[in-house]
Structure 1
Amino acid sequence: MAGETVITVVGNLTADPELRYTQNGLPVANFTIASTPRTFDRQANEWKDGEALFLRASVWREFAEHVAGSLTKGSRVIATGRLRQRSYQDRDGQTRTAIELEVDEIGPSLRYAVATVTRAVSNASAARPGVSEQWATPESGGDEWSTPGSAYGDSETPF
């Protein structure tokens, strides 16, 4: 949408994502991403950490269950989403403002780690009556170049 503040944050999860369900049964996962800038001090000839940014983040629906089942405390992640501001009353009756990241996409950073990705079973056809979603794989004889959901082993990667 126009006018929204979209950002990308690279950092580490400070705790396991907390998966909860609304009264209507809608899953939501909340977590905090800590991002600490590092700069090289030429005079001291060493790296120095700046002040850490702690950003609360949330994901909803099936995405929340995927995040809660995949990421853990300390995971280095790359997250992109929209900043949201909300106001609330604290216990003393003071109005407070919180800025949170509503995550559109998140995944592990592969700079210092390796990851294995497993495609989740899609509920798209259940969510949209009349729409069937099929994922072709090399095993099913599908066209792995034009269809999402391709599955490649290490020796089969096409590039």
Structure 2
Amino acid sequence: MANRIEFSVSCTPVVSVAVGENVAVDTIANDMQKSLGGSGAVASGEIDPSVTVTFNTFGYTANTVSYRNINTSATTTSFGDVTLFDFCIIKHTGRLYSDATTLGIATTMAIDIYVGTQIICCIRPGEAIVLPLRGKVATITMGARLQSGTTGVALEVFFTG
């Protein structure tokens, strides 16, 4: 596995101005007047450099993805207990689940992401969340559930540490 994971995030608040004396237009919202973002890198063994840490991955094996089937809104589908991970990305594929390595047809269903019993975010097709924890959490129980329904949605999950 890699020696480090590089990441970046950004957001831009947008306001839609309706048709008036000109055409409708989207523009950066006046209250912030800029985009906001950041980037970084998470390195192997970042917490204690004297300890040699090999990146172990969850969600991929031998260059092959293992999609998670999120198929119920009644209970949380667990990612399992992940211990001392440095970095996590969870991505909504925008596709229904076919099998662990194959995506199905497009979907618009949203997925709630949980840490324990708390919702930490809701992601829609194509969206992702990045968590650079750098080994700060000994064990974390994460999972996901559909906002409604029982049709399986494919979620791409990658933990490393």
Q: Give the TM-score, by structure 1 length.
A: 0.25
Structure having the higher strand fraction is 2
Question: Normalising to structure 2: TM-score of the pair?
Answer: 0.25
Higher relative contact order (CA 8 A, sep 6+): 2
Q: Which has the higher helix share?
A: 1
**Structure with the greater alpha carbon radius of gyration:** 1
